[in-house]
Structure 1
Amino acid sequence: SLTSFYGAGAGSGKSDPSLGSGSLGGSFCIAVIAGPASEEFMYRKSAALQLFLFGYELTDTLVVCMQTPGGPGGEGELTKEMHVVSSAKKCRLIEPCIEKCLKDAGVTVILHTKEKGDDGKKHIDEVIARAKHVGLLAQFAHIAKEYTPPFEDSAPFLKAYDQAIKAASITPQDAANALATALAPKDESEILYVRKAAMLTTAALNKFVVKQLEDTIEEEKKIKHSKLSELTEDSIVHPTQVGVKLNEENVEICYQPIFQSGSSPAYDLRPSAQSDDKIMTYDTILVSLGARYNNYCTNISRTFLIDPDDGQQKAYQKLVDAHAAAVAALVEGAKLSDAYEAAKGALGDEYAAKLTKSVGYVMGLEFRESAYVINAKATAATVKAGMVFNVSVGLSDLVTKKGKKYAMQIADTVLVKPAGEAPQVLTDAATKRYSDIAYNLEGDDEDEEPAEKENAKSRDAKTKGKKEAAAAAAPAGGGGGARR
C-alpha cells in the first residue's frame, strides 16, 4: 500500500542493511522517470512503481516522491508529497488517485501537466526547485540502472531530465534498493492477485502441459520445444482453456514458457532460458512457466523423467528434499542465506556441488528482484511477511548410467507468512512426487533395475492415472514439499 511505501518502506530507514544506500532515512526524494515506449518487453523498476502507485504503466512520465520532517528538528508529523510530470491525458488517468492518496496515506499529489510537444524541462525544474526548497537535494535519488545518458533526440523527455539535474548540480543516489525494500512485502490485495496468478500457473501445468506431454509420449509424436511453448502460452492467456475463470484482459505470461530436453545444448536453468526449435526427446524434460495477474508474477518449474535409472531417482528425491528445505527456511526474520544453506545441507556431499548458485528470489510486479536473491552471500537481507518468492532449486551436470548428461529443476511460488507460521506454497497443487513425474516406456526391459520397475509406472497406466487425477482436480503435495 501507499502507506507502507511512505511509512515503513523507502524513506523510514528500515530497509535491509545489506542493501547499502537503500536506507534513505526519514527524509527522502526519489525520482522515477520513464522514457518513450519500447517494443521490447522488459521488467523495469520504474514501471513497477507506476503500476504500484497508479495501476498504469506510463511512458514519458516523471514521478518524484518526497518526504520531509514537518516539525522542528525533524520531529513531529511528516510532510508527504508526490509530484508527477506528464501529458494531460496521463495526468487525467492519475487524477482519481489524488483524493485516495491524501485520505489513505496523507500524501499530497501535485500534477505538472506538460503541453503537447513540450519536452517537460520547465516542469522538471519546478519539481527540483521544490526539492531544493524543502532541503532534499542531498537525498535526491533515482534508479541508476535505468539512467543511461547520453540520451538520443528521440527521447526528449529523458534529455530534459538529464539537463535539469545537471544544471542543479545534483549527484543522485541509487534508489533501486530502497524501492525494493518498500515493494517486496505485499499487502492483502497484492497477495490476492498473486494467488490468482498462481492458480492459473498451476492449472496451465496440470491441465495443459502434463496432458500435452503424456499425449505426445503415448502417441510417439514429434513436437518442437518452441511449439510446446507457444501452445502453453496460449493456454495461459486464455484461462478458460484450463478451467480458470479470470478476465483475459488482466492475464499475461511472465515470460515465454520454457521446454528443454536432451543434452545438446546443455540444459539452461536460468530464468532467461528459451525454448529452441529442436524436437522434444524422451529423456529428461524440464518445464517452466509463469502467469501474471494484474501484473503480479508467479512461477513454477517441474522435471519429468522418461525411463529413469535408479541414480536419477535418487538425485530427484534429493532435489525434492532440498527444495522443501529451502521453502521451510523462508520464515519471517530469517536470513535469505539460511534458505540456500538449508537446500545445500539437504543435498549432502554427493549433490551439493551440483546445486545452482542461487535458489530463488523475490517476485512481484517484477519477475526477479535482484536485491533479494537467495544465495550464500545473502547473509544480511532478511525475510519479511508478505514477501513472495520464486523458490527454484536446480541440479546441473548430472550423468545417467548410460553416460548422458542431464539436469533437474523444481520451482514454486512461495508466500512468507507472519512470524510463527510456515511458508505457503501457492503452486503446491502441481505434484512433485516421483511416481507422478517418472514415466517408464521400457517396462519389459530385462536390464531394468527392480527399483525402477517399482517406482516408474508403465506408460499406459501412468497416463491413465494422471488423467484421472487431473479430472478429479485434487491438489497433490510434492514428496518432502509438505502442504503449508
Structure 2
Amino acid sequence: MGDHNANVRPSNSKSSGATNPYSIDLDNFTKRLKLLYSHWSEHNSDLWGASDALAVATPPPSEDLRYLKSSALNIWLVGYEFPETIMVFMKKQVHFLCSQKKASLLDVVKKSAKDSVGVEVVMHVKAKSDDGSGLMDNIFRAVHAQSNSNGHDTPVIGHIAKESPEGKLLEIWDGKLKNANCELSDVTNGFSELFAVKDNIELTNVRKAAFLTSSVMKQFVVPKLEKVIDEEKKVSHSSLMDDTEKAILEPARIKVKLKAENIDICYPPIFQSGGEFDLKPSAASNDENLYYDSTSVIVCAIGSRYNSYCSNVARTFLIDANSMQSKAYEVLLKAQEAAIVH
C-alpha cells in the first residue's frame, strides 16, 4: 500500500454478507486496531517518539496521485479513505472529528474497539457551517486530562511531520496542535514499521497488483515496443504512456480477470529513450518520439494498484547493444539476482 502511500481510492473489501458497499470489515478493524496498540506500546520509545497520543489528519480529496501515511492508515484500519477527518488515538480513547456522514459510517466500530482493546470511541461531529475549532479544543482537553491522570505535565502528541496541512480544517488543526501546550514528536517511522508486515488480505492484494503489472508489461508493453521498432514507426513517449495506462485500467483488454473498479495506476507509465533519462519515480514521459537506433536504450517503468496496494516494475531495453553495454547489463543483472537471493 502506497505507503503505503497518490490519492488512495477506497478499498472495496466488505464484511461477509454485507450489502452496504461502504460497510467496514469489523474483523479486520479489530485485528488491526489491536496491532496498532500493541506496536505502539512495545516500540513507544524507539519508533513512536515516546508519544502519549497519536494525531492523524487526512486532507481533502485530490485528483493528484500521492502517497500519504494518513490515507494509508485509513485504508489499513477501516478499509476506506476518510478525507477531512481527524483521528486521535489515546490509551483509553479514540477520538474522531468528521462530518455526520463519516461519523455514521464509523459508528459501527465503537463496540469492537471497546471489546477488543478496551478503548472508547468518541465522535466529534462537525456541522458544515462549523470550522471545527471548538470540537478540536474538546479533543485537546481530553489529551491533557489523560496526561494529568498519568502524572505528566506536558503530553507528547505523535504526528506525521512531513504531511503539510491542506484545507481550512487541517490548517486550523495544525495551528492548534502547535499551540496546545504539548510536545510534538514525529511518528512516521512507527507507521512505516506497522505497515511493513502484510497480513493475508494485504498479500493477496499485492499479488493481484503484481500479476496485473507483470501482465501489462509482458502482454502489452513488450509486444507494442517490438512492433514499433520492427515497423520503424514514429510513436511518442507520451502516447505510449497513454496506451499503457489504458491497459492497466482496463485489464480485460489483455484478458486479465481482475475487477476494473478495484484497479488504479501507481503513477503515469514512464517511457524514456534518446539518451536523456530521469530515474526518479516522479519522471514523466515527454512528447519526443521513441528513439530506437542501434545501441540506443529504452527505459520503461509501470505500476498498478489493486485495492490501493502497489506493484511496480521497470525494464531496460537495449537495441543492438555493443559489448560494453552488454557487459554492464550482465553486471547489473547479477547484482539484482544477488540482492533478491539475500
TM interval, shorter chain, is 0.7 to 0.9
The answer for the alignment partner of 1:48 in structure 2 is 72
For residues 110 and 266 of structure 2, the distance between their equivalents in structure 1, rounded to whole angstroms, comes to 30
1:219 and 2:250 correspond: no
- Distance change >3 Å, CA 233–CA 83, structure 1 → 2: same
1:275 and 2:288 correspond: no
- CA shift for structure 1 position 23: 3.4
The answer for the alignment partner of 1:354 in structure 2 is none
The answer for the alignment partner of 1:13 in structure 2 is 43
The answer for the alignment partner of 2:158 in structure 1 is 141
Structure 2: unaligned runs, 5 residues or longer: 1-31
For residues 37 and 213 of structure 1, the distance between their equivalents in structure 2, rounded to whole angstroms, comes to 36
Cα pair 1:144 1:176 within 8 Å, conserved: yes
- CA shift for structure 1 position 293: 0.6
The answer for the alignment partner of 1:300 in structure 2 is 313
- CA shift for structure 1 position 105: 4.7
The answer for the alignment partner of 1:230 in structure 2 is 242
For residues 73 and 114 of structure 2, the distance between their equivalents in structure 1, rounded to whole angstroms, comes to 18
User: After superposition, what is the alpha-carbon deviation per residue over 1:406-428, rounded to whole angstroms, capped at 9, x for unaligned?
Assistant: xxxxxxxxxxxxxxxxxxxxxxx
Cα pair 2:49 2:186 within 8 Å, conserved: no
Q: Higher RCO, 1 or 2 (CA under 8 Å, sep at least 6)? A: 2
The answer for the alignment partner of 1:243 in structure 2 is 255
3-state SS of 2:60 partner = coil
3-state SS of 2:42 partner = coil
Matched AA of 1:274: A
The answer for the alignment partner of 2:8 in structure 1 is none
For residues 172 and 94 of structure 1, the distance between their equivalents in structure 2, rounded to whole angstroms, comes to 27
- Distance change >3 Å, CA 98–CA 198, structure 1 → 2: farther
- Distance change >3 Å, CA 214–CA 4, structure 1 → 2: same
Q: 1:34 aligns with which of 58, 81, 84?
A: 58
For residues 55 and 116 of structure 2, the distance between their equivalents in structure 1, rounded to whole angstroms, comes to 22
Matched AA of 1:6: Y
Cα pair 2:71 2:81 within 8 Å, conserved: yes
User: After superposition, what is the alpha-carbon deviation per residue over 1:234-268, rounded to whole angstroms, capped at 9, x for unaligned?
Assistant: 000111112221111110000001111111xx212
- CA shift for structure 1 position 40: 2.9
3-state SS of 1:109 partner = strand
Matched AA of 2:298: I
3-state SS of 2:245 partner = helix
1:284 and 2:297 correspond: yes
Matched AA of 1:36: P
Which has the greater radius of gyration? 1
Cα pair 1:225 1:275 within 8 Å, conserved: yes
3-state SS of 2:283 partner = coil
Give me the identity figure in percent: 39
Matched AA of 1:2: L
The count of aligned residue pairs is 303
- CA shift for structure 1 position 104: 4.8
For residues 220 and 109 of structure 1, the distance between their equivalents in structure 2, rounded to whole angstroms, comes to 63
- CA shift for structure 1 position 198: 0.5
For residues 199 and 120 of structure 2, the distance between their equivalents in structure 1, rounded to whole angstroms, comes to 22
3-state SS of 1:164 partner = helix
For residues 233 and 219 of structure 1, the distance between their equivalents in structure 2, rounded to whole angstroms, comes to 23
For residues 78 and 217 of structure 2, the distance between their equivalents in structure 1, rounded to whole angstroms, comes to 32
For the aligned residue pairs, the C-alpha RMSD in angstroms reads: 2.1
For residues 310 and 128 of structure 1, the distance between their equivalents in structure 2, rounded to whole angstroms, comes to 66
Structure 1: unaligned runs, 5 residues or longer: 68-78, 330-484
3-state SS of 1:289 partner = strand
Report 1:354-369 matches (<5 A): none
- CA shift for structure 1 position 107: 4.3
Higher strand share: 1
Q: 2:48 aligns with which of 23, 29, 37?
A: 23
- Could you state the TM-score of these two structures normalised by the residue count of structure 1? 0.59
- Distance change >3 Å, CA 202–CA 225, structure 1 → 2: same
User: After superposition, what is the alpha-carbon deviation per residue over 1:368-420, rounded to whole angstroms, capped at 9, x for unaligned?
Assistant: xxxxxxxxxxxxxxxxxxxxxxxxxxxxxxxxxxxxxxxxxxxxxxxxxxxxx
For residues 38 and 332 of structure 2, the distance between their equivalents in structure 1, rounded to whole angstroms, comes to 40
